[in-house]
């Protein structure tokens, strides 16, 4: 058994000469964030050809930047909701319906999976996605399989 | 890990140091070493390990490096059309016969370079694992669950940043050394944590990171046997890793310290860790890793959870709080006070943390735990549920949810 008293701890003399090296208790390894891009049919259809062209270019350039920084895990655009099927299993039987699960005006149009030091960095990239101007981009941390000793 | 792998990993920093010292060009030298390691991994199992493995690696690495330098200078010539650039012969003139660094060990210099302050922690970790640990980009990418291309970009960006920061291959000046040493230990600590905190699913890769962190910090300790914080960090890792087999159930669920089967703890690691920290505390300057190791030692040497000397742990957290300004320390302090004195007193320690914006879901988890101890089941349950929703860790979420369920 480690006996504190043996070492005279806690003693102010130790504290005065104490080390000053940094220490973090939490994981400091980047967290993965999903940037979820929302859209609606009207907002896309209402764009001019130049605006659409600009949107595509903005995505290309931000993907390239994220890749060069070593932050990009994955990214993709999703096909129009008109092509979506929603699956439900009832009594072991799968049934499908046309269209997305949520009957909202907005639909999920694409995503970026990025690794960032913190959520502020992820928000920074989300704000630069052109879609944030038209509808919205949601930033959500990805759950991971790790846990500190509790 | 095979004996080949281990041999290669031990040689990696020596070979890289020799090349960088001789040629400069950290970025290209690092690439050349990776290729030499790869060649060895392919040839040695078939042809046998050469008599002088390091010499072999240095020879192959330097041959590859001269190729890289040739194409680099050719590229630059094409780009800049400047005749004044060094001719490739100049690099080759030294020939492949580079002196073995012999008795000199440049690993520490290399570590200082990889933990350069111009890099983010994520990049420092990646570069350290590759340049000092000798892991391949694919292995590092697998351990951190990112595509290999992402990790490759991160590593080459890190190398470029070091180049831009104009770092040469030499020990930083005295004034900087302590600070850099802090960064080196921090990076090793993060590598360990990354391996230790990940549980099922990626356990294979993660256990390897933990082993690698311990191997690296052992290496640093060989170079600096009298540094208390190096000893403290090694002790902390050993004392923490000793509990590995007991901290997850068969289904991968998290088992808290108090409920762990202590017969599964690694006795040898505990004995070694306790001896290290006891020795460091008596004769070196006190630092946070030593104090954390001392706390871990108090836990690890208790026969049962009930026998834990919480008063001693409270005293150690008092010391730690003087050394570091970290809300996680205060949280742990509150738990210890709750155990040593009582839950009400523990909750009082939590109060000033309410307004600390560095706080995360663990404040809620600790509050829940203390409320439960105080017999306030309803409030405790609410806190557990809130903490479960706030965490981004799957095992923690399951654990907190099950605590809430038990209070339903």
Residues of A in contact with B235 (CB under 8 A): none
Please report, in tens digits, the pLDDT of each residue of chain A (150 residues total): 444 444 444 333 333 233 334 444 555 567 899 999 999 878 778 889 999 999 999 999 999 999 999 999 999 999 999 999 999 999 999 999 999 998 888 899 999 999 998 899 999 999 999 999 888 999 999 988 777 776
pLDDT tens digits for A68-108? Answer: 999 999 999 999 999 999 999 999 999 999 999 988 888 99
Question: What are the φ/ψ torsions at residue A91 (nearest 5 degrees)?
Answer: 50, 50
Question: Cβ atoms within 10 A of the Cβ of A17, count?
Answer: 9
Which residues of A are less than 8 Å from B201 in CB distance?
145
Q: What is the C-alpha to C-alpha distance for residues A69 and A87, in angstroms, rounded to an integer?
A: 38
Which residues in chain A touch residue B202, judged by CB atoms under 8 angstroms apart? 145
Residue B384 within a domain: yes
Q: Which of B93, B125, B144 is the last residue of a domain?
A: B93
Domains, chain A, in order of start with CATH, read 31-141 (3.30.70.1060)
Among B64, B93, B122, the domain boundary falls at: B93
Work out the number of other CB atoms within 10 angstroms of the CB of residue B90. 11
Chosen for mutation from B122, B230, B369 (greatest number of chain A CBs closer than 10 Å) is B122
The residue range of the domain holding B29 is 1-93
**Quick check: is B249 in a domain?**
no
- B325-340 as b/e: b if 16+ CB within 10 A: ebbbbbbbbbbbbbbb
Residue B25 within any structural domain of the chain: yes
Q: What angle do CA B376, B377, B378 make, to 5 degrees?
A: 100
* Number of independent structural domains in chain B: 2
Domain end point (choices B60, B93, B126): B93
Q: Spell out the long-range contacts of B400-405 with Cβ–Cβ below 8 A and sequence spacing 24 or more.
A: B400/B365, B400/B368, B402/B253, B403/B368, B403/B369, B403/B372, B404/B368
Q: Region B286-305: what's the mean pLDDT? A: 94
Interface contact B392-A67, CB threshold 8 A? no
CA distance A43 to chain B (A): 33
Quick one: tokens of A11? 């003693």
pTM as predicted? 0.86
φ, ψ of residue B12 in degrees (nearest 5):
-50, -50
pLDDT of B138 over the 80 cut: yes
B288 found inside a domain: no
Q: What is the ipTM of this complex?
A: 0.80
């Amino acid at each position: 058994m480690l006996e504190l008293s043996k070492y005279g701890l806690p003693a102010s003399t130790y504290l005065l000469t104490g080390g000053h090296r940094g220490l973090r208790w939490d994981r400091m390894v980047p967290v993965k964030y999903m940037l979820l891009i929302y859209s609606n049919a009207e907002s896309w259809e209402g764009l001019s050809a130049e605006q659409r062209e600009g949107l595509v270019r903005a995505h290309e350039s931000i993907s390239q930047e994220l890749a060069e920084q070593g932050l990009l895990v994955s990214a993709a655009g999703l096909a129009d909701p008109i092509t979506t099927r929603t699956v439900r299993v009832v009594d072991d039987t799968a049934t499908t319906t046309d269209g997305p699960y949520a009957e909202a005006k907005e639909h999920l149009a694409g995503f970026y999976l990025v690794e960032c030091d913190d959520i502020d960095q992820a928000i920074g990239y989300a704000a630069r996605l052109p879609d944030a101007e038209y509808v919205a981009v949601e930033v959500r941390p990805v759950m991971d399989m790790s846990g500190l000793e509790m | 890990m095979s004996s080949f792998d281990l041999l290669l990993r031990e040689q990696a920093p020596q070979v890289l140091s020799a090349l960088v010292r001789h040629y400069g060009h950290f970025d290209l030298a690092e690439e050349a070493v990776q290729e030499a390691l790869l060649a060895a991994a392919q040839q040695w199992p078939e042809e046998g390990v050469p008599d002088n493995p390091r010499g072999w690696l240095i020879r192959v690495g330097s041959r590859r490096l001269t190729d890289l330098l040739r194409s680099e200078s050719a590229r630059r010539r094409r780009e800049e059309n400047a005749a004044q650039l060094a001719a490739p012969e100049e690099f080759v003139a030294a020939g492949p016969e580079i002196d073995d660094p012999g008795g000199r060990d440049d690993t520490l210099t290399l570590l200082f370079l990889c933990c350069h302050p111009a890099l983010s922690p994520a990049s420092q970790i990646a570069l350290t694992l590759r340049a000092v640990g000798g892991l391949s980009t694919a292995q590092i990418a697998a351990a951190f669950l990112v595509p290999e291309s992402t990790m490759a970009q991160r590593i080459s960006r890190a190398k470029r940043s070091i180049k831009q920061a104009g770092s040469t291959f030499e020990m930083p000046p005295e004034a900087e050394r302590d600070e850099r040493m802090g960064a080196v230990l921090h990076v090793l600590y993060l590598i360990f944590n990354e391996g230790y905190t990940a549980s099922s699913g990626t356990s294979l890769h993660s256990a390897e990171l933990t082993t690698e962190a311990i191997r690296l910090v052992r290496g640093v300790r060989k170079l600096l046997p009298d540094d208390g914080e190096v000893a403290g960090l090694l002790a902390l890792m050993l004392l923490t890793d000793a509990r590995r087999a007991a901290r997850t159930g068969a289904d991968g669920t998290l088992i808290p310290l108090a409920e762990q089967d202590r017969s599964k703890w690694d006795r040898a690691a505990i004995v070694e860790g306790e001896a290290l920290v006891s020795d460091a505390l008596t004769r070196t300057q006190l630092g946070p890793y030593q104090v954390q190791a001392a706390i871990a030692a108090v836990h690890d040497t208790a026969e049962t959870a009930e026998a834990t000397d919480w008063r001693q742990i409270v005293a150690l957290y008092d010391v730690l709080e003087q050394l570091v300004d970290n809300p996680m320390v205060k949280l742990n302090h509150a738990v210890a006070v709750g155990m040593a004195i009582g839950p009400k007193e523990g909750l009082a320690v939590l109060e000033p943390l309410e307004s600390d914006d560095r706080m995360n879901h663990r404040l809620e988890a600790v509050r829940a735990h203390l409320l439960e101890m105080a017999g306030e089941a309803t409030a405790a349950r609410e806190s557990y549920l809130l903490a479960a929703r706030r965490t981004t860790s799957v095992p923690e979420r399951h654990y907190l949810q099950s605590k809430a369920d038990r209070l339903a």
